[in-house]
Structure 1
Amino acid sequence: MVVELLRNPELMKNVQNEVRGIIGHTKDKAKDNLDKMHYLNAVIKETLRFHPPLALLVRQESIQDAKIQGYDFATGTQVFINVWAIGRDLGLWDNPKKFHPERFLTYSIDFKGHDF
């Protein structure tokens, strides 16, 4: 996250202004006000999209035969999900090669695992 903010000083300024505007210069209230820092949350989400901590998710195994988008998967097939490629998919993201946290300010999808 810090590297991307250093590469984009205007984004760094936006985060600093938001944090200073909400908590001022006292550090003891930061954790109590995280839910109010929408731009900071957007930067964190964009960082995880742009630089996923794991490029491939932990291996999954199908528990029954399945057909997905014309492909047949037999029971016991091991599947690896490429998170890095999903984060750069032109069909899912507008301009996926650009670090653009503002995209998460307008999404109505819950990225905490509650919206499937």
Structure 2
Amino acid sequence: MSVKLQNEIGTIDINADVISTIAGISAIECYGLVGMASKSATDGLVQLLKRDNMNKGVKVYFEDNLIIIDLYVIVQFGTKISVVANNIRDKVRYNVENLTGQKVKKVNINIEGVRVLEV
């Protein structure tokens, strides 16, 4: 799946993997987020992803030329989850819209776990 931008000069195809990478990088910059999560379908275990695989914690869908993003994240213990989720949603929406030129319809945040950061 991809999003197409078309003008008089030509066409630009933006792959869903590119959008998921933008969303993953934008999310990981937010305060209170420990990292992206990957959920194993077989045993239901949640795994913290390394920086190389951040886009695996992101799913991108397209609906009527609008982008829908699902993020699977692990938040830091002691932070207010609603505030962290709103910050992630705002930053991801802003960066994806700014870099791709397409509108984001929804950013769904799925909290997969809470972790205590070791000092």
- TM-score, structure 1 normalization: 0.30
Larger Rg: 1
**Greater strand percent: which structure?**
2
Ranked by relative contact order (alpha carbons within 8 Å, sequence separation 6 or more), the top structure is 2
Normalising by the residue count of structure 2, what TM-score does the alignment of the two structures yield?
0.29
